[in-house]
Amino acid sequence: MADRLLLASPHMSDEGFELEYIHDAFQKNWIAPLGENVNEFEKSMQSFIGAGHTVALSAGTAALHLSMILAGVQPGDKVFCQDLTFSASANPVAYVGADPVFIDSEQDTWNMDPAALEKAFELYGLPKAVIVVHLYGNPAKLDEITAICREHGVTLIEDAAEALGSEYAGRKCGTFGKFGALSFNGNKIITTSGGGMLVCEDQADAAHALKLATQAREPFPWYQHEEIGYNYRMSNICAGIGRGQVKVLPLRIQQKRAIFERYVSKLSGLPLVMQPSLKCAASNRWLSVLLLNKDCGKTPTDVLSALNEANIEGRHLWKPMHLQPVFADAKYVTVATDSVSDDLFSRGVCLPSDTKMRMEDVDRVCEVIRKLF
């Protein structure tokens, strides 16, 4: 049987950049969550995204949790959160005891619907924050969403975990909100094996985040703590991987986009569409995702079963948060007759988007799908 094609897996540089920085950390015995690699990784990421102040953390989820705290979210507060997303976007709302209100998607990007967001303000008043997600790397309607948040004086938090390198109107995702979260999990466009980064608009917030991420130790000659802290700082070893990965980040974005365009070409004429994007946006195409036509006679399960039989990994779209048992009591807002996020989940398939794939591998995936119709 042919080698298994993976959805997305870690891809180290051919030049071994990562090993150089890891070796240097071992030589200097900087293994703890501080050191040159951490500092330089933050600088290189800040330079890449072109704005904000960066704090390297143990996970993108940690970045979202700290965003909740820095935004002043308290138990009982409302937070408006995108519905079609991974649970890590919503879980930090629960960490701080707040109540999520899930906002339906729109068809143009599959992200938060600005019209539904406006309706949520009408129904539930002012939330403490709004969390927008760039699904599979595809930028949301940021002009409209930022304008709504600005009008109401509400903090915008960007979950750009999947969108490193994506752009909206020439500006990098993760830099539009007061806070932004990036992820370097093993399946992301670059990885630190596990890790994330908080992007803060203000230097003071970044300094506070750094304090919170290192157990909130006060500047005393002994260990003194005046607020609750967390063990969220990225290790110098993981940051060394990140420093090496940043060097190949432009190449990885180019490879992801090439895979997506190959799918567009090779799947043309079938009863399906690939994830759309706005003219003013440039997705990193972290994952290539298709949407089956309603009348095509096939389901995502049919497609995934056929792919699996051919030793190819695929995945359903994220199951909407309002359908998750853990959030069964949460409010959900849509302006559509039928839920858009439900519909996308019922017809969407994530295709292999591993940057180690060759174009012949992409063609192999397409051949399996074409045989279904």
What are 313-339's pLDDT values in tens digits?
999 999 999 999 999 999 999 999 999
Give the C-alpha separation, 174 to 76, whole Å.
27
Distances (CA, A) of 202 to 178, 199, 238, 339: 8, 9, 25, 37
For 266-305, the pLDDT digits (tens) are 999 999 999 999 999 999 999 999 999 999 999 999 999 9
Mean pLDDT, the chain, rounded, equals: 97
Give bridge partners of residue 54 from the DSSP assignment. 199
What whole-number percentage of the chain has pLDDT above 90? 98
Give the 3-state secondary structure of residue 252: helix
pTM greater than 0.75 (yes/no): yes
Closest residue by Cα to residue 190 from 255, 249, 238, 254:
249
Whole-number pLDDT of residue 41: 98
Q: What's the confidence (pLDDT) of residue 1?
A: 73
Question: What interhelical angle do 60-70 and 203-213 show, nearest 10?
Answer: 120
Chain segment 139-157, per-residue pLDDT in tens: 999 999 999 999 999 999 9
How confident is residue 206, by pLDDT bands cut at 50, 70 and 90? very high
pLDDT of amino acid 52: 86
The pLDDT assigned to 2 comes to 85
pLDDT at position 286 is: 98
The candidate with the shortest Cα–Cα distance to 364, out of 91, 4, 117, 96, is 4
Q: Is 339 helix (H, G, I), strand (E, B) or coil?
A: coil
The rounded percent of the chain whose pLDDT value lies above 70 is 100
Q: How far apart are CA 122 and CA 116, in angstroms?
A: 10
What is the distance between the alpha carbons of residues 200 and 206, in angstroms, rounded to a whole number? 6
